[in-house]
Structure 1
Amino acid sequence: MAAHSTPMPDVPGPESLPGTAEIVARHGERAAWMDAMGRVVEQRFLQDPFSAPPKSPPDTQTRTWLRVAGELGEDPAVHAAALTFVSDLTLLSAGFARLGGGWPDFLGASLDHAVWFHQPVRADEWFLYETDSPAASSGRALCFGTIWSADGTHVATVAQEGLIRSLKD
């Protein structure tokens, strides 16, 4: 069977984008909770997660570069487990991206989470994570993620349904 995959979007590389430390410095106490996670998972943001404008079709995707901090060794199962962990960090954000605002304005809880691995992946090297939510209602959101290695290889696809609640209501 011939192989095919979704191409990686044309986005700036992680080196030129702000990381967690810059976002925490920009938003102070509101973003302080990110500091601890930033020591475990490095992130580079294509847009500020605290002040994103509402997304509307056809541009409803959110993209972030991520990698596990430190070296994970060579065991593919360790990399798969680490990628699975990281894939859960921001996926529900896609459920409220169409509303605008940011992370501290909403709470979420995963109801289910699945990852399909298409190619081997190193979770301690930069990968692009694109998320989107095709449907949300009754306080639940269905969210999908696509993950590419830095060389453009589509390495994994993620699906999650979760509860989402606005803290502003």
Structure 2
Amino acid sequence: MNGNDVDIETLLALSPSADPFRTSGVSQGRDAGWLYGGQLLGQAVAAAGRTVSNKQPHSMHAYFLTPGRFDRSVDYVVEDVRDGRSFANRRVEAFQSTDDPILHASVSFHAPETGASHQRDAPPRVPAPESLDPAHGSTYRSGLESSFDIRRIPADLLSDPDTARRGVWLRATSPTSDDPLFHAAALAYLSDFELFLPALLRHGLLGDGVMATSLDHALWWHVPARVDDWLLYIHESPRTSGSRGLAYGHFYTLDGTLVASSVQEGLMRRREPA
């Protein structure tokens, strides 16, 4: 199966295994034959979650160590770091064909409980997704379009010259599983979608003359959300320096509930002429 034809449920299902701490997943393509980083994030969360009971992921911190290829499957090894009454932690490493990991991630899980609550509001003047035209193609050609309806918000409605803020509505194109772990893993998958784009746009660093790659990624799930409902992803870049850029994002539901937040650092270099 060609990587770009893999739907999100197949991508996150992972292979059955007698050892729950070892599993593998199919791959999904992007430009130049490299894996879309969101695939690794989503599959790592799914692999870790298979080993945890009665808790849901609340945070993930991951490092992209070396590029993965979409023409190879990915093997995941999960380490049980801690199981407590309220929290559990898993370390996940992803491999392709060699003993060197391509991703290292730590995923923390939390048992549901009540407590204080506040949030940052969504930006004003954001049009409803149904009022926007479907987008065709992605800056990163992630393969995400095979499973998600994408509606980009006109840049002038979110204009911020300092951070190059961008926004996009995302929703799975068909009903999906009711499993909360699936939706948490799918949100991790979505969280890499064009997150670093504002850092590149801020300096006009797009096209074949630019090398850009993700270095690390963090995600916090605040409350449960479904990826077959519309989600607004707002992302911006507060700082770039030394060929590195920082970007952060927030996911909101249609009613304005902030459900997740992400942060990513990436490398951005102009290619030297041959």
For this structure pair, what is the TM-score category when the shorter chain's length is used for normalisation?
Answer: 0.7 to 0.9
Which residue identity is paired with 1:8? A
- Structure 1, residues 49-104: CA drift from partner, whole Å, max 9, x if none? xxxxx9513x6311111123322211111001011111102101021121347577
Tell me which protein shows more helix as a share of its residues: 1
Shift in Å, 1:138:
2.0
**In structure 2, distance between residues paired with 1:136 and 1:90:** 16
Is 1:159 the equivalent of 2:259?
no
**How many Å separate the matches in 2 of 1:133 and 1:105?**
21
Counterpart residue number, 1:41:
148
Asked whether 1:99 is paired with 2:199, we answer: no
Matched, 1:12 2:127: yes
2:237 equivalent to 1:123: no
Contact 1:146 / 1:154 at 8 angstroms: preserved in 2?
A: yes
- The one-letter amino acid of 1:133's match is S
CA–CA separation in structure 1 for the residues paired with 2:139 and 2:264: 26
Question: Aligned in 2, Cα 1:72/1:167: closer, same or farther, shift over 3 Å?
Answer: farther
Query: Equivalent residues in 2 for 1:14-163 (5 A)?
Result: 14-21=129-136, 34=141, 36-47=143-154, 56-57=161-162, 60-100=164-204, 106-163=210-267
Runs of 4+ residues over 4 Å off in structure 1: 31-36, 100-107, 166-169
C-alpha displacement of 1:166: 4.3
Partners of 1:33 and 1:136 lie apart in 2 by 20
Say what the alpha-carbon RMSD is for the aligned residues: 2.8
Shift of 1:37: 3.3
Alpha-carbon spacing, 1:168–1:124, altered in 2? closer, same or farther (3 Å): farther
The offset of 1:32, in angstroms, is 9.6
- The TM-score normalised by the length of structure 2 is 0.50
User: Please, which moves more after superposition, 75-84 or 88-97?
Assistant: 88-97
Amino acid at match of 1:40: S
TM-score by length of 1: 0.78
> How many residues are aligned here?
155
Q: Which moved more, 1:64-73 or 1:3-12?
A: 64-73
What is the aligned-residue identity percentage? 35
Cα gap change, 1:32/1:82 in structure 2, threshold over 3 Å: closer, same or farther? closer
What runs of 5+ residues in structure 2 fail to find an aligned partner?
1-114
Q: Which range is displaced more, 107-116 or 80-89?
A: 107-116
Change (3 A) 1:35 1:109: closer
Gaps of 5+ in 1: 25-30, 49-53
